[in-house]
Amino acid sequence: MKTRAAVAFQAGKPLEITEVNLEGPKAGEVMIEIKATGLCHTDEFTRSGDDPEGIFPAILGHEGAGVVVEVGEGVTTVKPGDHVIPLYTPECRECASCLSGKTNLCTAIRSTQGQGLMPDGTSRFSTLDGEMIHHYMGCSTFSNYTVLPEIAVAKIREDAPFDMACYIGCGVTTGVGAVVNTAKVEIGATAVVFGLGGIGLNVIQGLRLAGADMIIGVDLNNDKKPMAEKFGMTHFINPSEIGEDIVPYIVNLTKRRGDLIGGADYSFDATGNTTVMRQALECTHRGWGMSVIIGVAAAGAEISTRPFQLVTGRVWKGTAFGGARGRTDVPKIVDWYMEGKIEIDPMITHRLKLDEINHGFDLMHEGKSIRAIVEY
Ligand code: NAD
Ligand code: AHE
Ligand code: ZN
């Protein structure tokens, strides 16, 4: 069949909106009509050419929601008409990683997914001239119709609106999951969130959900403050306005109950900046502070700190997709939204048509959007 898609033909170039060929689902695969997709900073990271795994031409997009329209041979867990969220972190429930119970990083199809291919080593997408187009993060939600492996779709309730559910496909789950799955933040904790964009705001609301007392937000853009306050931020810091190094500033701010040392119980990097990652670790409390890296750093970037920071009890962790097991946890997060436990609506700041998708990346760069979504 033919479908409309935004294609990344070359790194650093705007996406081209065009018709492409899409083959139907093979055994163990499903075809999905995408109804809405968010634009995550990771899409921009790949579009820009910064992603070491970036392959072109490709159809980007990994934060979507839609409806199953066709299933391949042997598919049993979803059927046409089911509402689903594509999963860039699949859940096969059979690989050593899934069975370990220690990670959400299913390895069943990671190698072909990283090469922009379906598990059989081929692509379902091609140009009308017959040139192969790669899949992206196993999802390619910047196409109106896409094909995914069955293990990479989470079935969700039908009353969840697509324009909100799509954000659960990455940003919401990543931010909230970093708090509840990865850091396992406890009631009364102090926490710092670096970067108050589409991910950081969801870390903030995860901290509120977990019952954190002090939720410090850090961003260079003061315009991010009101929204972060709405989601539970109690203190805001713009590092360019405090006139001192941010690490001692936060350590002082977090001294509580006669504590002479200070430091946050938890910190989260949602910027992708490696200098910020170091600050995030070093502003946590000696003895028990935990810092979680969420941001994706530029190609070739490395992190550093004095080993003494870890010798003295701080823990440096990272998280992908908020530690969520896609098929198991994503439907629950959709329930949390539908039951009012978490909020999404105010974070969807811009709605675009597929033809306007490049404007969505402009809004991201200008710091004007939290989430721009494309509705098909
Ligand atoms: P975004 O562009 O919406 O937000 C980034 C925010 O960081 C902005 O508000 C910006 O002003 C702020 N910022 C940038 N540099 C800063 C600095 N030096 N100090 C303080 N604030 C700074 O991006 P997003 O969609 O929220 O994504 C954030 C990061 O998380 C990206 O690197 C993205 O690739 C990554 N990400 C990771 C995962 C994962 O599973 N680990 C999932 C989704 C996104
Ligand atoms: N390809 C990049 C790394 C990108 C990355 O870290 N991706 C995250 C999801 S970001 C979603 O917005 C992830 O899940 N990684 C785990 C995985 O297996 O890809 C690079 O640096 O090569
Ligand atoms: Zn993402």
Q: pLDDT at residue 211 above 80?
A: yes
The complex's ipTM works out to: 0.98
Q: Assign 176 a pLDDT band (cuts: 50, 70, 90).
A: very high
Ligand 1 geometric centre to CA of 296 (Å): 8
pLDDT at residue 139, as a whole number: 98
Ligand 1 geometric centre to CA of 293 (Å): 11
pLDDT at residue 351, as a whole number: 98
Q: pLDDT at residue 255 above 90?
A: yes
Q: pLDDT at residue 298 above 90?
A: no
Which residues surround ligand 1 with Cβ inside 6 Å? 40-42, 45, 170, 174, 194-200, 218-221, 224, 239, 270-273, 276, 294-296, 319-321, 364, 367
Identify the nearest ligand to the CA of 219 by its number: 1
* 207-210 contact pairs (CB < 8 A, 24+): 207/179, 207/232, 207/266, 208/232, 209/176, 209/179, 209/180, 209/341, 209/342, 210/179, 210/180, 210/185, 210/186
> Is residue 58 within 8 Å of residue 47, measured between CB atoms?
no
pLDDT at residue 256, as a whole number: 85
Q: pLDDT at residue 170 above 80?
A: yes
Active site residues: 40-42, 62-63, 92, 95, 98, 106, 110, 170, 371
Summarize the confidence of residues 101-111 as an average pLDDT: 98
Q: pLDDT at residue 257 above 80?
A: no
Average pLDDT, the chain: 97
Atom of ligand 1 nearest to the CA of 224: 9
> Is residue 252 within 8 Å of residue 276, measured between CB atoms?
no
Summarize the confidence of residues 262-273 as an average pLDDT: 98
Q: pLDDT at residue 241 above 90?
A: yes
Ligand 3 geometric centre to CA of 258 (Å): 40
Summarize the confidence of residues 169-179 as an average pLDDT: 98
The residue whose CA has the least distance to atom 1 of ligand 2 is: 53
pLDDT at residue 51, as a whole number: 93
Token code pair at residue 179? 């708090």
Domains, the chain, with CATH or none:
2-169+344-375 (3.90.180.10), 175-320 (3.40.50.720)
Q: pLDDT at residue 299 above 90?
A: no
Summarize the confidence of residues 355-359 as an average pLDDT: 98
pLDDT at residue 66, as a whole number: 98
